[in-house]
Amino acid sequence: MTKAKTGLGRGLDALLSPSVKEDITKPIPIENNGVKSDDGKSFNVIAKISTSKIRPNPYQPRSEFDKEALDELKKSILENGLIQPVTVRRTEDGNFELISGERRLRAFNEIGYREIPAYIIKVETKEAMLALSLIENIQRETLNPIEVARAYERLMTECNLSQEDIAEKVGKNRTTITNSIRLLKLPSEIQQSLIRNEITVGHARALINIESYEQKLEILKKIITDKLTVRQVENIVRKLNKGGVKKKKATKDETPASVHVAALEDKLRNIFGTKVSCKQKKDGSGSIVIEFYSSDELERLIELVESIEG
């Protein structure tokens, strides 16, 4: 059973080691908030920092910043103030490096504000810095599907986290992580359509199962022009990979799929990221068929089953 999402703070606490705490060595006073350190002295967790002293995050996972959303954020800040401070770490030259909150920092700069409220925390390694940035953005759901997939991939390659580790940190199923990363196998044209919300993740996942690059793009155009549903695309893909052979009718020993069997098909389809057929006979017995359309697809399914067994 997946864990309920409990918010950004706990996700970061689970990721960071105990040594990564609020940086209280050089507090910048804003007001005494009454927090006590281990030796009983008061210190401030939040500070107002000059925006000119904050460098961009070199590990920023976001590549798309919507201008309309940024304008809405500026209006909100002007009317209500900044609800959530940005998060930064100190650098050796006395300045700061942004960990999270680039949109908020951009909004402050465009408005013309010279100082911004910030949490100052201690982050010593590149891996912790990268993981903080990625997981903060993932949990806030501010990334598009391709940015999320790239973030998961970077957590694996640059932070040496397994898919199981990532699933634990972000509070999602391992299959969700696997299916997300698979989106990066798609041609750039399809990835861009997904980023522009011209197609959904369901459409994109169906297109992964087509080997031909040309056929992928052909169906992509059809999805956009004819507004095809995910189920329609799955049917097209299935026929392509089976050479257009129609699905056989149920035999006399088989019974039409019940509501429960149909629900099971949908659940298994989401888990395995491919077509799953469930057939039940009149005596209660039956079969579950998990389809794959390439050797890479088979290898992915094998790895997925092995991870479930583990």
Helix crossing, 174-182 with 201-208: angle to 10°?
Answer: 70
| 102, 136, 147, 297: the active-site residue | 102
Distance CA 246, CA 279 (A): 16
CB 190 within 8 A of CB 199: yes
Distance CA 80, CA 141 (A): 22
Catalytic residue at 102? yes
Q: Would you call 265 helix, strand, or coil by DSSP?
A: helix
Side chain identity at residue 266, one-letter code: D
Q: 158-181: b or e for each residue (b if 16 or more CB lie within 10 Å)? A: ebebebebbbbbbbbebbbbbbbb
Active-site positions read 102
